Structure 1
C-alpha cells in the first residue's frame, strides 16, 4: 500500500504540499495539486481517514437517524441524503430510533461516538429542548419533517396542515359530506397537523366535524384495516375516507375488498405521502404528495453549508400537492 512519502516522491513535491492537497486547502498551486493527484492515482494511494480526521477535526461522516427501516418513506429519505453527501465526498452512518426516547438518545450518542460531523434525523420522541441543546452545544443537526424553534434552517418541513386540507377538500368537491378519517398517532406533530387540515376543510364547507368518524392509528397497514372495521361498526355512515398515510390507506382498501365493497363506488379513499406502491394498488390510490426525497436532500445541503462551508440555497418549507387517481369518485346517493 502506497504511503504519503511515496506520493510526495513521485509528484516531486514536499510532504506538506501533499498534506495540503489531502486536506482540501485552497492555497495549493493548481499545477502542484495536479501533480499530487496524478501521483495518487498512479500509486492507487488512499488517504488514511483517521489521520485526515485528526488533521482537519472532521471525519467527513454524517449520521442519519430514522424512525424505522421497514418503510419506503425512510428508504427514500436515506437514499436522498446519501446521494447528496456522496456527491460532496462525504459518507453516512445510519442508525434507528424506533420512536422510543431512550433508543433515539442512544442512537445520537452512538453517532457522536463515531465522530460524525453532524446528524440528519427524522425523530419524534426526543424533546425540542434536548434537540436545541444538541444542536447548539454538541454538533449541528438537521430535522426532516419537524419544526423546532432554535434550530432555524436546520428544520426542513412539509406543510402537513395544507396536505390534510387538500385530501378532504378533494372529497368535498366530489360531493361527499360524510367523510371518515384515520389519523396518525396523536403524539406526532405531523399527524395533528394533517388532522387539523381535515377539520379546516370541513369547516370551510359548513360540514360539522364528527368525532365518531375519526380513528387514531399509528401509520401501519394494520391500523388501516382496524380503523375501517371500527368506523364501519359505528352508527355514523360515511361515503369517503381520508387516511393520514398511504400504508393505512392500503390497509383500509384491502379490508374493504375483503368485505365485498367495490372501490371507489362504495367508498372513496385518499392517502398521504404518495409512497412508491400508491400507483400499484387497485384501484390506484389518490393521495397527497410528500416530497421526502427533496426534503432529505435539502437537509443534507444544510449540513454541507453549516459544517463544510458550502453556500447552497436552503428551502425550509415544502408544499404538498394532490395526486388524483382512481380510488375516489363523485358521490352518488
Structure 2
C-alpha cells in the first residue's frame, strides 16, 4: 500500500506539504501542488479519507440545504457547487427543505450531525434568528438567496428587485400599459422582491398599481395554468404579463395556445431565470437571466474559504440581466 511518505519522497516535498495539498490549503505553492499530484498519479496513492478527517479534525465534506432536489434552478446550482467542492478533494452532502420549516430544521440538524466542515443554506421558512444560530454552530456557513443583516458577509443573493424592474420596464418601453404579474409563492422573499421591482417600474412610468392584475402562482408547475386562465378571464385587455419564473411562462404559453392567442403578437411575455428551454420554445422567451452558475461557483468558493480560513472577497450580490428574444411585441 502506497503511503504519504512515499508520495513526499517522489515529489521531493515534506509530508506536511502533501497533507496540505490534499486538503486544498491555499498556502501550498502551485509548483509544489503540481509535484504532489503528479506523484500521486504516478504511484496510484489513494488517501484514507477517515485518517485524513481524524488528522485534520475535519470531515472533508460540505453540507447543502436546498428547496428541492429537482428543477432547472436547483439542478445546475448543486452541480456547480459540487464541481468546485470536489476540486478541493471534498464531498457535498445535499438535502432539501421541501417548503417545510420542520424539514428545513431537520435537514440542518442532519447535516450538522455529520460534522460537515461548512454549510450552504437556502431556507425560506427559517427565521433570521434561526439562521444566525446555525452560523454560530457552524461558522463556515453561506446563506444563498437571502439577506440576513447580522450575516451580511456570508450572504450571496441576486438583486431580485432589479430583475423585476428591468423585466417590467422592457415591456413599458415597448408601449405596454396593461401589464399583469404572475408571482411565485409570496411566502418567498424572491417573489416579494420581484413584485416590488414590477411596482417600481410602473411607478416610474406613471402607471397605477392594480392588485387585481397580480396572481400568485408557484415557481414549480403546480396550479399555474388555472391562475393564468383566471387572470385572462378577469382582464381581457391585458397586453403583457411578467412571469416571475420561466415555469410560469410555460403555463402562459400553454393557456394562450389553447385560446388561440399568439405570444409576441396577441400578448407579450417576459419570464425570469433564463432556463435552458426558454430559447427553444417558440417564440423564444424574453427573460431575466439568473446567474445560477455564478452563484454555485461563488457559494462553493466562499464556503471553502471560510473552512480553510483563506482570504476570499465574497461577491454578495449578483446582478440579473435581461435577455431579449421574441416574446414581446412593440405597440404603436
Taking structure 1 as the reference length, the TM-score comes to 0.89
Q: Which runs of 5+ in 2 are unaligned?
A: none
Q: C-alpha distance in 2, partners of 1:205/1:30?
A: 55
Question: Is 1:323–2:323 an aligned residue pair?
Answer: yes
Let me know the Cα RMSD of the aligned residues: 2.7
8 Å Cα contact 1:179/1:242 also seen in 2: yes
Task: Provide Cα deviations, 1:44-68, integer angstroms capped at 9, x if missing partner.
Answer: 2312111111111112211121111
Question: Are the aligned partners of 2:290 and 2:320 in contact in 1 as well (CA < 8 Å)?
Answer: yes
Counterpart of 2:64?
64
**C-alpha separation between the residues in 1 aligned to 2:216 and 2:191?**
10
Higher CA-based Rg: 1
Q: Deviations over 1:169-190 (max 9, x none)?
A: 1111111111111011111111
**Is the CA contact 1:222–1:248 (under 8 Å) kept in the aligned structure 2?**
no
Distance 1:175 1:59, change over 3 A: same
Confirm or deny that 1:302 pairs with 2:302.
yes
2:5 to 3, 8, 11: 8
- Displacement of 1:29 in angstroms is 12
Kindly state the Cα deviation for residue 38 of structure 1 after the two structures are TM-superposed. Answer: 7.0
2:19 is equivalent to residue 22 of structure 1: yes
Q: Secondary structure of the equivalent of 1:300?
A: helix
Aligned length: 327
Does the aligned pair in 1 maintain the 2:160–2:190 contact within 8 Å? yes
Partner of 2:211: 211
Runs of 4 or more, structure 1, over 3 Å off, are 7-13, 17-20, 23-43
Q: 1:60–1:91: 8 Å Cα contact kept in structure 2?
A: yes
Aligned to 1:151, the other structure's residue is in SS state: helix
Query: Does the residue aligned with 1:263 lie in a helix, a strand or coil?
Result: coil
CA distance in 1, matches of 2:52, 2:331: 65
Counterparts of 1:33 and 1:155, CA distance in 2: 31
* Structure 2 partner of 1:231: 231
CA distance in 2, matches of 1:265, 1:30: 57
Q: Distance in 2 between matches of 1:26 and 1:204?
A: 48
Cα distance change on mapping 1:58 and 1:287 into 2, 3 Å: same
Aligned partners of 1:223 and 1:248 also within 8 Å: no
Are the aligned partners of 2:288 and 2:321 in contact in 1 as well (CA < 8 Å)? yes
Separation in 1, partners of 2:28, 2:158? 43
Q: What is the rounded CA distance, in whole Å, between the counterparts of 2:26 and 2:106 in structure 1?
A: 38
Unaligned 5+ runs, structure 1 = none
